[in-house]
Structure 1
Amino acid sequence: MTTRQPRTWSGRRPTLEEVAAHAGVGRGTVSRVINGSPRVSERTRAAVEAAIAELGYVPNNAARALAGNRTDAIALVVPEPERRFFAEPYFSDIVHGVGIALAETEFQLLLTFAGSDRERQRLAQYLAAQRVDGVLLVSVHADDPLPDLLEQSGMPAVISGRRSAEETLTSVDSDNFGGARDAVAHLVARGRRSIATITGRLDVYGAQRRLDGYRAALVEAGREVDEELVCPADFTEEGGRQATAELLERRPDVDAVFAGSDVMASGARQVLRSAGRRIPQDVALVGFDDSAIARHMDPPMTSVRQPIEEMGREMTRLLIEEIAAPGRRRAGAAGRRGREQLVLPNALVVRESS
């Protein structure tokens, strides 16, 4: 009887990582196939089993036992300072949605920050070690290297908000353009003549789309876009205060402010009140997110409601699908092969501030 010897380049046994590379999947996927997990597509299972047979891989019994007890994990990566994460309701709502989606699965959630070069370097090492099966990435800036790193590594990943119209990773976003357009159209309908906007950082695609929606609403109403009424900020309360102070200095005739987030709107409110401007009698105020901040403000604030919790759930659903079927692609709008780009609708919630 002839015993088949493992195929290697140096006489040693092939490793789990080599099987994964040969099959074009992650280490965790190979482990799931070996342990009979149902969370693997038939096509992927066949590719892994073919790689195992071709390489002559023999699972180590002790390692296999450990793998069978291993807890699967998904990383939620936030490329922002921790203080912003804990200050903005957006992030807690995303985490809540992710938690709901994971409740009925085997996955655990790992939260990690990657706002500095050192944190990104540490994350890259962690991902290279295949310690998680997939990544959820939120609050992505146009120049952020993390999405490209994930794509190059082959790690299943879903991002919250596209980096551009040409996004190549799977993404879940809300209709930032439509939400902003509805908010500004509402202010026009209320008879406001000098409508300003406080934007988030414009290297965030969602912030740029909200600015585009602001401009589109004015054009549709037959208004000229006055760039003096556009005040860039950074999604923080302090940024909202500074932008509003600058706005009042150069355009004291402003009678409405559309802020790109509820957090910035809360900063704007403080400055408007300090300047003796009544809300909404003198200046109408509209935010974006419809967070608890908007509901509890005095007066309660009109805001664009994002389905943030649903975004977290959908991101998780898509990520689990990618983990089960690596490399899954969907056809793009122009026939271009690309990953799924899911855009959820927003809704304007009108309250006393406008």
Structure 2
Amino acid sequence: MHITLDEIARRAGVSRSTASRVINNHPHVNPAVRERVWQAIRETNYQPNLPARSLASRRSQVIGIIIPQPIHTLFADPYFPLLIEGIAQVCNERQFSIMLELATNPTGDPYRHIGRQGFLEGAIVASAIEDHFLSQWLAQESIPVVSIGRISTHPAIPYVDVDNRQGARMMIEHLLRCGYRRIATITGPMNIVAGRDRFAGYCDALDAAGLPLLPELIVEGNFSEQSGFSAMQSLLQREPRPDAVFAASDMMALGAFKALRAVGLSVPDDIGLGGFDDIPLAAAMTPTLTTVRQPINELGQTAARLLLDRITTAARDLAVERVILPTTLVIRESCVR
């Protein structure tokens, strides 16, 4: 049976025009009425005619997800699929589609096509590198934008983030409680706020413990497995070598683990190891990885809700929202003494 908008309206006990306003995310609809209409849609699996809606309303119901990272990063790091899944869940509930934009040319402007054709109603940017391309795009863009991750150079951009600094500090404090003292770190990229914040948490914990910040124990990575492998190789050249390593992402921790195994060193018997993210791989490693859990799926869901609320409500009626989600220390086997 083909379900029509008239049938949805009849089941919800509203007029056809009210049902249409709900489907088109019109802001001025009673919440109880809105829920009745969505309940009817869920019960019947009603699928609106999206092209017709776009022509009638002059709205595309499409948002962009912008990840200005190389394509191989997106498919190699489980963080991004979990993030996109969260965004998609909310967009599906609210009848929006998503378009994924990647940085196919790492040396060029990854934002050059975004919003230029007037097709996108808004955009979520994730893992944004703070460079002149980002600044130029944000200064010129007229569509609503929400960032996953704080953008320090643009405080007026709404964002959702986790408490990266506190999360990293919790990890170092745990390593200290385990008896480690010569603790190295493989940082994230310093042109991304998350990289700087996690490094700041590392510094905070060492300072609180009265331990010096040693430059030879700090190596910058880029959140990838390969950068973790290379950074660990570099750290193993230091004398004396570190007795524990905090990698600012689980993928870098995996790379560090492989570098240690390649030279016959054992985790945690020879060197303790901690990560950040708690991707599924962390619990599957042998030994299992002690890490800092961030709610990746919830990050995506929250960002999508912030953006869709800004699209369906006049922007001037909304304050700049800044949502910080908590992190959790997950203690496993990789730093047991």
Note the C-alpha offset of 1:276: 2.2
Residues matched between the structures, number: 295
Q: 2:208 aligns with which of 217, 220, 241?
A: 220
Query: 1:230 & 1:314 partners in 2: Cα distance?
Result: 33
RMSD: 2.6
1:39 aligns with 2:25: yes
- TM-score for both structures, normalised by structure 2: 0.81
Structure 2 SS opposite 1:101: helix
Aligned equivalents of 2:140, 2:289: Cα separation in 1: 43
**Cα distance 1:252–1:328, how it changes in 2: closer, same or farther (>3 A)?**
farther
1:154 & 1:70 partners in 2: Cα distance? 15
Corresponding residue for residue 245 of structure 2: 257
Structure 1 letter corresponding to 2:71: E
1:149 aligned residue (137, 140, 150): 137
Q: For the residues of structure 2 that align with 1:201 and 1:144, how far apart are their CA atoms?
A: 16
Partners of 2:59 and 2:121 within 8 A in 1: no
In 1, Cα distance between equivalents of 2:60 and 2:120: 10
Residue 128 (structure 1) aligns with = 116
Aligned partner of 1:347 in structure 2 is 328
The runs of at least 4 consecutive aligned structure 1 residues that moved more than 6 Å come to: none
Q: 1:219-270 deviations in whole A, cap 9, x for unaligned?
A: 1112111111111111111111111111110234311000010111111001
Pick from 88, 91, 100 the counterpart of residue 77 of structure 2. 88
* CA positional deviation for 1:70: 6.4
C-alpha spacing 1:64/1:316, structure 2 compared with 1 (3 Å):
closer
Structure 2 stretches lacking a partner, 5+ long: 1-19, 29-51
SS at match of 1:109: strand
What is the rounded CA distance, in whole Å, between the counterparts of 1:322 and 1:195 in structure 2? 44
Identity %: 38
Kept after mapping to 2: 8 A contact 1:262/1:288: yes
Aligned counterparts of 1:147 and 1:173: Cα–Cα separation in 2? 19
Is contact 1:151-1:169 (8 Å) kept? no
Q: What is the Cα deviation at residue 323 of structure 1?
A: 0.4
More deviation, 203-212/141-150 = 141-150
Change (3 A) 1:65 1:233: closer
Taking structure 1 as the reference length, what is the TM-score of the superposition?
Answer: 0.77
**What aligned pairs does 1:1-354 form with structure 2 within 5 A after superposition?**
36=21, 39-41=25-27, 66-68=55-57, 71-116=60-105, 120=110, 122-124=112-114, 127-143=115-131, 145-146=133-134, 148-164=136-152, 167-328=155-316, 339-354=320-335
| Letter of the 2:293 counterpart | R
Question: How many angstroms apart in 2 are the aligned matches of 1:155 and 1:304?
Answer: 34
1:183 is displaced (CA, Å) by 0.2
Distance, in Å, in 2 between the alignment partners of 1:64 and 1:164 is 38
Q: Where does structure 1 lack aligned partners over 5 or more consecutive residues? A: 1-34, 43-62, 332-338
* Structure 1 residue 83: Cα displacement: 0.4
Q: Distance in 2 between matches of 1:227 and 1:113?
A: 34
Structure 2 contact 111–133 (Cα < 8 Å) conserved? no
Instruction: Please give the secondary structure, in 1, of the residue aligned with 2:167.
Output: helix
Distance 1:256 1:121, change over 3 A: closer
TM-superposition CA deviations, 1:188-218 (whole Å, max 9, x none):
0000011000011100011100000001001
Report the Cα distance in structure 2 between the residues aligned to 1:159 and 1:279, rounded to whole angstroms: 36
User: In structure 1, what residue type is equivalent to 2:113?
Assistant: L
User: Residues 114 and 123 of structure 1 are in contact (CA less than 8 Å); yes or no, is this contact kept in structure 2?
Assistant: no
State the SS of the aligned residue for 1:145: helix
Give the greater-gyration-radius structure (CA): 1
Shift in Å at residue 101 of structure 1?
Answer: 1.1
